[in-house]
């Protein structure tokens, strides 16, 4: 990687991304436009999160990259290899040891600290897109806090299904002002954003937007008094580690026809298995203990 600049991007690009990130932190939930660059991966595969991570990562940082909670997926491995080689940083799969974590669609099960940053890959940053196709109109709606159509959208779900059936991209109100898309994380992860110690950064490369949720910010999912927000629940625990308080993924065995459920967060699941075998391992606290 000696032929490339440190952090792959040129210095002016990284400065611009850092300035836009500071503005996003100053206005929680507000989408800040930025000049998204061409990257060595296709748009839609995490170019926004990748540019954010490359712009903020220093040589003393420790990097972790997860894809749907998994450290070993093809997407996670390739991004980790690119970032670690271009930024010359150490990598880890341990959530507690990382200072910068880039994620696709999950928040780790272990609570992150104030010294850590979580960078999200965001395919579609505009939460109002489902109710309004015009970018100009959504800008006006955000500026005037005109979110009536989103409320009607949720109400229509209740009328049709007797519940709000948004399983991911669940709209949240950030800092009592902007409605924000928390990226396609499951509803299970949405409460982790509220009053967290960690800085959350969101990068959408294709849509050229950066936004942020700073530490200790109120993040409230949209809900009605008689239809409160709920998270996914699972009847049994993880079949590998036995955890009953984590988000589980379904695995289908086509030979036996059986369905199995395992922790989505492979790092946490591995630690719990080590602990069950009698090994000494450091496991972080839950988010709202």
Beta carbons of 213 and 203 less than 8 angstroms apart: no
Q: Is residue 284 part of a domain?
A: no
Residue 241 among the catalytic residues: yes
Q: Is residue 163 part of a domain?
A: no
For the stretch 150-167, pLDDT in tens is 999 999 999 999 999 999
Residue 113, domain extent: 11-125+172-221
Q: Is residue 6 part of a domain?
A: no
Residue 256 sits in the same domain as residue 118: no
Q: Is residue 166 part of a domain?
A: no
CA 7 to chain centre: 22
Residue 77 among the catalytic residues: no
Catalytic residue among 46, 203, 241, 270: 241
Catalytic residue among 7, 236, 263, 284: 263
Residue 238 among the catalytic residues: yes
Nearest residue to 31 (alpha-carbon basis) of 148, 135, 132, 154: 135
Residue 56 sits in the same domain as residue 99: yes
Nearest residue to 28 (alpha-carbon basis) of 207, 170, 216: 216
Catalytic residue among 48, 257, 269, 278: 269
Position 23 scores a pLDDT of: 98
Catalytic residue among 7, 29, 48, 205: 29
Catalytic residue among 203, 236, 238, 257: 238
Position 1 scores a pLDDT of: 64
State the residue for tokens 């959350």.
200
pLDDT beneath 50, residues of the chain: none
């Amino acid at each position: 990687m000696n032929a490339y600049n440190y952090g792959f991007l040129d210095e002016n690009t990284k400065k611009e991304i850092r300035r836009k990130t500071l503005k996003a932190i100053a206005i929680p939930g507000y989408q800040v436009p930025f000049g998204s660059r061409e990257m060595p991966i296709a748009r839609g595969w995490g170019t926004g999160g990748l540019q954010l991570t490359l712009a903020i990562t220093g040589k003393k940082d420790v990097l972790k990259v997860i894809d749907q909670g998994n450290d070993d997926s093809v997407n996670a491995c390739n991004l980790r290899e690119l970032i670690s080689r271009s930024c010359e940083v150490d990598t880890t799969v341990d959530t507690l040891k990382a200072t910068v974590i880039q994620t696709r669609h999950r928040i780790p099960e272990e609570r992150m600290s104030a010294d850590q940053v979580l960078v999200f890959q965001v395919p579609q940053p505009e939460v109002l897109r489902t109710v309004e196709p015009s970018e100009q109109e959504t800008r006006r709606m955000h500026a005037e806090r005109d979110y009536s159509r989103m409320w009607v959208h949720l109400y229509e779900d209740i009328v049709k299904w007797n519940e709000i059936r948004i399983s991911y991209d669940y709209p949240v109100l950030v800092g009592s002002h902007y409605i924000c898309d928390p990226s396609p994380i499951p509803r299970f992860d949405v409460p982790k954003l509220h009053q967290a110690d960690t800085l959350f950064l969101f990068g959408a490369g294709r849509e050229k937007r950066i936004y942020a949720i700073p530490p200790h910010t109120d993040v409230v999912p949209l809900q009605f008094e008689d239809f409160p927000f709920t998270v996914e629940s699972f009847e049994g625990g993880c079949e590998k580690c036995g955890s009953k308080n984590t988000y589980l993924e379904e695995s289908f065995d086509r030979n036996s026809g059986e369905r199995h459920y395992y922790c989505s967060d492979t790092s946490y699941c591995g630690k719990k298995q080590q602990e069950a075998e009698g090994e000494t391992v450091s496991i972080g606290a839950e988010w709202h203990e």
